[in-house]
Amino acid sequence: MRPAPTILHLDMDAFYASAEQAAKPSLRGKPVIVGGIGPRGVVATASYEARVFGVRSAMPTAQARRLCPNAAYLSPRFELYRQVSEKVMELLHALSPLVEPLSLDEAFVDLEAGGVAPEADAVRAVGERLRRDIREATGLTGSVGLAGAKMLAKIASEAAKPDGLVVIEPGTERELLGPMPVRTLPGVGPATAEALRRAGIHTVAETAEAGEDELVRLLGKAHGAGLYAMALGQDDRPVVAERDAKSISVEDTFEVDLTDRTRVRTELMRLAERCVQRLRAAGRSGRTVVIKVRNYDFSTLTRSETLRGPTDDPAVVREAVARLLETVDTTGGVRLLGVGVSGLADFTQEDLFAQLATEQEAQESARAAAEPAGAEGGEPEPEEELPRRWSPGLDVVHDDYGAGWVQGSGVGRVTVRFEQPWSAPGRVRTFAVDDPALRPGEPLPLVGGGPGAGQSSDPATWPKSLSPGGEAASDSGEEISSR
């Protein structure tokens, strides 16, 4: 615990959903849900407008549709999120050499190592400027927590959400944490909270009062001792720059223990994907793949497999994870899953065969993705019988109407909204799925990518491919109907 609040934690607000709202003007201020849109899909995140209805990350999409039928349901566009994340991480690296990304949208920064004066006012000013810079560079909002320890900085950014900043001044943390529900502490999922509740422990203060022995008795040695330290606000973990990290991992605690084996597998595949995203964001690759499984009774086990060489290939990591899962009995119920990669190297040196295998896999998975619903876990499932390229939310370009995104599809039709991040909300038009004028597009830049990129705001001078749907373009014969 430091004497000054020089550890900064940044977490972007409703990250995937905010990126989609920034990209799609018609969705701003509206409920947006990003995730697997098929019948077995899971919500990755929901915009704050959708959270009002009770929609949360990791909830089955079918349940979200019941809670919030009027939301826009979109497939994720990881490439866009990665681009936004890179800009954000760049801004963080300008603050300090010690930046520890936890995911695409979240990182710790050691401001002391960045030469910021160890005073509340100075760190607050840095945090506020960072939030402004992020907004300017990406069009998205992030929340910032500042404290003398990692755990507290993270609690502070959570308390600051959405679009805020909270400083926990050292010396005030016990008072501040005391009345908070024990769920506030990292690593306390719903099941741990329930075990504590049965013992009459609801708040952080009550957790500290229970004492270490009682917590160990309730939760086991490692978990109990760790929780006791956290309840006291004790956390001396340093901020570790990704390039010095020995391993990279992600984990999720579930609201309800997972008993369905298919669901366990799907969640592990999603975690593998997120782990590889982090690995790639750090420009690294790893040789050992690890899975972590915490059972209903808190017993935790890890299984690992060492590959022939380092990789940052999601397919390779997913395969290793699937093999590792085969060695684990999950019938009693699983409360936490994690995927990690260790044995990190700075680059990947795939031999020719590995590369060939990867290309074959890519072709195969492209074919698999083009098949009807029920595809591999982790990937969003295509809606109805249509190929993934017409999944809601994905980018398309029309020869006459320019850039837009798929709003919906079915029975041989695809509905496209023609708008760009910098345009006014656009019009919707419907086409046959095999319309030769319509093809998949690339994510457009959210900021600074407007027409003429700052040279002209006159639509008459826009390149044809960027013109807003309907206005400049005439109603061509290819169109089937438009609303």
Binding ligand DCP (rule: CB under 6 A), the pick from 7, 12, 281, 290 is 12
Stretch that binds ligand DCP, among 12-20, 128-136, 431-439, 457-465 (CB under 6 A): 12-20
Render 187-252 in DSSP notation, one character per residue.
Answer: T--HHHHHHHHHTT--BHHHHHHH-HHHHHHHH-HHHHHHHHHHHTT---PPP--GGG-SEEEEEE
Is residue 252 a contact point for ligand DCP (CB under 6 A)?
yes
Number of residues counted as binding Mg ion (CB under 5 A): 4
Q: How many CB atoms lie within 10 A of CB 457?
A: 11
Tokens found for residue 342:
């260790």
Torsion of CA 214, 215, 217, 221, to 10 degrees: -130
Q: 143, 154 in Cβ contact below 8 A?
A: no
Tokens found for residue 419:
């708008």
Binding ligand DCP (rule: CB under 6 A), the pick from 20, 100, 106, 173 is 106
Tokens found for residue 114:
């960045």
Look at strands 142-147 and 165-167 and give their pairing: parallel
- Residue with Cβ nearer Mg ion (88 or 279): 88
- Residue with Cβ nearer ligand DCP (116 or 140): 140
Q: 264, 334 in Cβ contact below 8 A?
A: yes
Spatial CA neighbour of 25 closest among 87, 59, 72, 91: 72
Q: Indicate if 106 belongs to the active site.
A: yes
Binding Mg ion (rule: CB under 5 A), the pick from 5, 7, 9, 11 is 11
Give the bridge partners for 286, in sequence order. Answer: 311, 344
Phi and psi (nearest 5°) for 42? -125, 145
Tokens found for residue 23:
């990209």
Give the bridge partners for 405, in sequence order. Answer: 395, 417
Residue 161 binding partner per list Mg ion, ligand DCP, none, with a CB distance cut-off of 5 to 8 Å that depends on partner kind: ligand DCP
- Residue with Cβ nearer ligand DCP (114 or 127): 127
Number of residues counted as binding ligand DCP (CB under 6 A): 16
Residue 58 binding partner per list ligand DCP, Mg ion, none, with a CB distance cut-off of 5 to 8 Å that depends on partner kind: ligand DCP
Taking the complex as a whole, the smallest distance from the CB of residue 143 to Mg ion amounts, in Å, to 8
Binding Mg ion (rule: CB under 5 A), the pick from 12, 68, 88, 166 is 12
- Residue with Cβ nearer Mg ion (20 or 395): 20
Spatial CA neighbour of 16 closest among 90, 77, 101, 83: 77
- The contact mask relative to Mg ion for 85-114 (x = CB under 5 A, - = no) is --------------------x---------
| Amino acid code (one letter) for 374 | G
Q: Which of 49, 106, 173, 267 is catalytic?
A: 106
Residue 28 binding partner per list ligand DCP, Mg ion, none, with a CB distance cut-off of 5 to 8 Å that depends on partner kind: none
Is residue 13 a contact point for ligand DCP (CB under 6 A)?
yes
Is residue 58 a contact point for ligand DCP (CB under 6 A)?
yes
Which stretches of the chain bind Mg ion, using CB under 5 A?
11-12, 15, 105
Which stretches of the chain bind ligand DCP, using CB under 6 A?
11-16, 44-45, 57-58, 103, 105-106, 161-162, 252
